[in-house]
A and B are shown apart, each in its own frame.
Chain A
């Protein structure tokens, strides 16, 4: 039961953060960053299984590997951008978080252009 571990971990971290809240807000932010990263590192083994499954599926379906790596890149960008923006919001700088989200959206759009071109070309072939 990993979820019990994670919930217990998050509660302990929450109590520690509540001790620091109001006395030293900067240290509370550091602790919340560390907690987020540790929980993510704990979940990496699970995500890796899912990603390997998706790769197997793609090799069986003969999908071009470039598209799959593009999708993985988009996933990584989305995860990192949302992580950073939430930490910025926690630290009270919502504007900075909004800018990070904006940059993430632009980068994802840039990565999605080759896929969009491939879709358009296949439509043109059909017509």
Chain B
């Protein structure tokens, strides 16, 4: 079920969280590639994408449950 507080406010903090994770991953990627550790860079890349994907998947799940409750499916 949905929490009430989620519906009342636009949740900008989640967007900032995703953006922060993305920027940090980009920086780590650049540093690792500059120092010649390309294989570590790939692993970091993958980890960052997974972290962001987990957040987005939670949000998609929330969207589906809310649509289901709203239209009484």
Contact = CB atoms under 8 A, between A and B. Distances in A.
Interface string A28-57: 001101110111111011011001000000
Instruction: Tell me what chain A mostly uses at the interface: helix, strand, loop, or mixed.
Output: helix
A41 B22 contact: no
Interface string B32-66: 00000000000000000100110110011011001
Interface string B16-38: 10110011011000000000000
A20 interface: yes
Contacts of A40: 63, 66
A6 B22 CA distance: 23
A39 B62 CA distance: 12
Interface residues of B, number: 33
Contacts of A39: 10
B22 A27 contact: yes
B73 interface: yes
A4 to B, nearest CB: 11
A5 interface: yes
B15 A44 contact: no
B15 A12 contact: yes
B19 to A, nearest CB: 5
A26 B62 CA distance: 21
24 contacts: A6-B10, A12-B12, A16-B16, A24-B26, A26-B49, A27-B52, A30-B52, A31-B18, A33-B59, A34-B55, A34-B56, A35-B15, A37-B60, A38-B59, A40-B66, A41-B2, A41-B62, A41-B63, A48-B70, A73-B71, A73-B73, A76-B68, A76-B73, A79-B67
Given A13-B15, A34-B14, A38-B59, 4 more contacts: A27-B25, A38-B11, A41-B11, A76-B70
